[in-house]
Amino acid sequence: MKWAWTVVAPALVGALAAAGGQPGGGSVDARAEVAAALYAASATQAAAERSADAKLRAQRAEIERLRGETGAGRAANAALRAALTASEEKYVAELAGRDRAYAQEIAVFRDAVQNIASTSEGAAALARFNSGDETGALSILDDLRRGRDAARRKRADIESASDGRRIALLALQARARGKLSTSQAIARYEEVTRLDPGVHADWAELAALYRNASRLTDARRAAERAARTASNDRERASASRELGDVLAAQGDGGGAVDAYLRYYQLAQNLSESNPADSDLQYEVAMAHSRIGNLFAAKQDWEGASTAYGSALVILQSLFVAEPRSVFRQRSLATGMERAGDALMALGDNDEALNLHRGALGIRGLLAEHDPESATAQRDLAVSHEKMGNMLLVTGKLDEGVAEYREELKILKTLTARDGSNWDLQRGASVAYEKIGDGLSAKNERDAAAAAYRDGLALREAMVKHDGANAGWKRDLLVMLAKIAGVSDDRRYAERGLEAANALDKAGLLEERDRWIIEALKKRLAQ
């Protein structure tokens, strides 16, 4: 017949985590419970029957006497408990010395129960087993094993995520150099966040990548997770900024305002508490800039100019402190461009042109210094567009169109490398639109229509990719209206009016765009 412990042991061996308490209360003496389990093992009883003599019977009688004095609840004074434990250990040792087979068998069992008793929870379960509640003890030990297995899996996941996180950071660098697509970078961060979902920085990076890929629903979910996993105000500020960017892209102006104001307040408070921290000063500048974007979206150029100006003052001071920093140079150029846009809208063309020329000069040097950087090239493309805008406003049409063509050339190269970056796709569509604007101003209607149609093809692909993106639907409408303005083909006007009415019905047509409906109606009436 099989000894009872051979059935019990497999369950006991795997138990190393939480369990219930000792019957009767009090702390558990792990050594005593191991000794009791070894003494009571069926292997011990069988060996005793094979080796029974007066000495062993006397030892057994002493053990039973001590057991009786300690009581069924095993709540005994220390001296009695120690004496019982010593007697049980001596009895088992005596048997092992007489019976080599038993010695080997009991050694295996000893390893199992000592392993269990190495934790307070396991010792408590062993005490339960020794006190007669074998079923309850085994249930606890099974739970312990499952818990330990889950903990081991989780530990393995977190260790794997740590490795994956380091690789994902390198992937971001490869993406910035145009060697890796946005979708490939997303896949890496999705895996990291699946394995270890509690790290704020991972969710923040993933939200930005989703936004670049125009997966705005996913971007919002990731930004909200970034907020929930933030552990300090710096991280909460970062999460608010990213959430504001996503909400603005989704057309949720009210939500974006709330997020950006929260971002500004957190960044301002942190900067005031740490005035020597230049990174926090930068965050304050970015908060001003984001608020400026909201003013600009409402065509409130006075408000935008004030906000952008506040950002630019900070960015200039940071650049002066670290003039060799590529990051500071890039940030300054961005601040100059935004301030220049606002001044251009207010009619201060001279100062706006100076700012845009300065930004283009910085962008050109950065791109020349690092020609493989997709980020530097994208920035340079934006600067060419800004300069083109200024040149068109000042009547220098040929020069303006040339700037837009430089922008488009760069963006075509970048989109060929990373077709999953829909920010780049939209940028290329804007370049086509701007080229069309310049050619239309020169009264080159056919050439303008051709440029607009190239841009239209991109915008149709964008809306097909993300039909919920209200901004892209508006972009498509604008392109249809512009083609209708230079083309004799009435189908563009018809499509444009249909798209405008659909946006209006959905409450997505902004007041500033209502002129499009009237222009299209007028075109169809001709």
pTM above 0.95, yes or no: no
Give the torsion through C-alpha atoms of 402, 408, 410, 414, to 10 deg: 180
Counting DSSP H helices and E strands in the chain, the numbers are 24, 0
Report the pLDDT value the prediction gives residue 147, as an integer from 0 to 100.
Answer: 61
Q: What's at 471, amino acid-wise? A: G
Report the pLDDT value the prediction gives residue 15, as an integer from 0 to 100.
Answer: 34
pLDDT digits (tens, 9 = 90+) for 97-153: 888 778 888 887 788 788 888 888 888 888 888 888 888 778 877 876 776 677 678
What are the phi and psi torsion angles at 4 (to 5°)? -60, -35
User: Which tokens is 377 given?
Assistant: 């090239």
d(CA 287, CA 270): 13
Q: What's at 301, amino acid-wise? A: W
> What is the residue whose two structure tokens read 């444009």?
496
Quote the Cα angle for 30-31-36, to 5°.
95
d(CA 104, CA 118): 21
User: Which tokens is 221 given?
Assistant: 């979910």
Burial class (CB in 10 A: 0-12, 13-18, 19+), 370: middle
Residue pair 180/414 in contact (Cβ under 8 Å)? The answer is no
Give the residue extent of every domain in the chain: 4-152
pLDDT digits (tens, 9 = 90+) for 224-236: 999 999 999 999 9
d(CA 513, CA 507): 12
Show pLDDT as tens, one digit a residue, over the chain (526 residues).
333 333 333 333 333 233 333 444 457 888 988 888 888 877 788 888 887 788 888 898 898 888 888 764 444 578 888 899 999 999 999 888 888 778 888 887 788 788 888 888 888 888 888 888 888 778 877 876 776 677 678 888 888 999 999 999 999 989 888 888 999 999 999 999 999 999 999 999 999 999 999 899 999 999 999 999 999 999 999 999 999 999 988 888 889 999 999 999 999 999 999 999 999 999 999 999 999 999 998 889 999 999 999 999 999 999 999 999 999 999 999 999 999 999 999 999 999 999 999 999 999 999 999 988 889 999 999 999 999 999 999 999 999 999 999 999 999 999 998 888 898 999 999 999 999 999 999 999 999 999 999 999 999 999 998 887 888 888 999 999 999 999 989 999 999 899 888 888 888 777 777 888 888 888 888 7
Residue pair 463/469 in contact (Cβ under 8 Å)? The answer is yes
d(CA 28, CA 116): 13
